Amino acid sequence: MEPTDERTEPEPTFAGETVLVTGAARGIGRACAVRFAERGATVVGGDRLDQSETAATCAGLPGAFESVTADVTDPAAVEALVERAADTGRVDTVVNVAGIVAREPLATHDGEPWERSVAVNLTAPFRIAREAAPHLRTTGGAVVNVSSIYGQIGAAERAGYVSTKAGVEGLTRALAAELGEDGVRANAVAPGFIETPMTEPYAEDDAARERFRERAALKRLGDPEEVASVVSFLASDDASFVTGETVLVDGGRATVE
């Protein structure tokens, strides 16, 4: 038989399922929301920014998108966000994408970026997972947290980012341990350089972009959709025996010389 590039396996489907995605207004969160809606899920997106572009992209897809304005550092907003998802009748997957990166040289910063990083990147995913856990235990659902290669390697002037991303990988393992007996899986993805509004300032000139490209074995930057693919895999039954894992999505940046 001639080899063919055509996919023969059916795509994982999330029809009839509810997926909560934070940071869904743009970047990786938007790509995740669209991916799940393409595959039939009702997606409840939580972001402090306007999510109308995500809603517009999802319109006409097999699933649906519902927008909730929420600052994930606000416990009441998190409660309301999870409640909104549960109001659909079930919560199958929680994807913690909302995150921030702040520059904080040890010599000059006053501790504020550190506090903010902890609140957004670490405390919020914990709080959302805790609020959603009773619902996830019912569905035997999944948590997917978004870490970073900087959860695994250091970076100067990024103490808050590096520490909270390492922390979210630990949180992922703790959730896997605690929720596993109810069939709930918890995994993380650790992206390398992905072209989103977050990384725009880091790749503003061609020389900087070239340096980032050179560092990856694949010699290119990543797209948000390439992260969404791995997130949806980890949320799907195709990953039914995978839990407590962090998957690098970095084009070989962190592991290849």
Asked if 125 touches ligand NAP (CB under 6 A), the answer is no
User: Residues 64, 80, 100, 153: which binds ligand NAP (CB under 6 A)?
Assistant: 100
Q: Taking Cα atoms as reference points, which of 78, 229, 114, 53 lies closest to residue 249? A: 229
* 234 contacts ligand NAP (rule: CB under 6 A): no
CA–centroid distance for 44 within its chain: 14
Of the residues 42, 93, 148, 172, which one makes contact with ligand NAP according to CB under 6 A: 148
Q: Looking at residue 90, what DSSP letter applies? A: -
How many chain residues are in contact with ligand NAP, going by CB under 6 A? 28
Nearest C-alpha neighbor of 140 from the set 93, 174, 193: 93
29 or 160: CB nearest ligand NAP: 29
Of 36, 65, 161, 212, which is the active-site residue? 161
* Annotation marks residue 202 as catalytic: no
Q: Does 215 bind ligand NAP (CB under 6 A)?
A: no
Q: Is residue 164 within the footprint of ligand NAP (CB under 6 A)?
A: no
Report if residue 171 touches ligand NAP, rule: CB under 6 A: no
Among candidates 169, 167, 99, 91, which has minimal Cα distance to 132? 91
Residue whose CB is less far from ligand NAP, 182 or 217: 217
Among 38, 47, 92, 104, binds ligand NAP (CB under 6 A): 47
Question: Which residues of the chain form beta strands (DSSP E)?
Answer: 18-22, 42-47, 64-69, 93-96, 142-146, 185-191, 246-249
Rule CB under 6 A: is residue 44 a binding residue for ligand NAP? no
Contact call for residue 26 and ligand NAP (CB under 6 A) = yes
Tokens 């039939």 — which residue? 40
What is the C-alpha to C-alpha distance for residues 88 and 17, in angstroms, rounded to an integer?
9
Rounded CA-CA distance 29/224 in Å is 8
- Residues at the interface with ligand NAP (CB under 6 A): 23, 25-29, 47-49, 70-73, 97-101, 120, 146, 148, 191, 193-194, 196-199
Give the catalytic positions in this structure.
Answer: 161
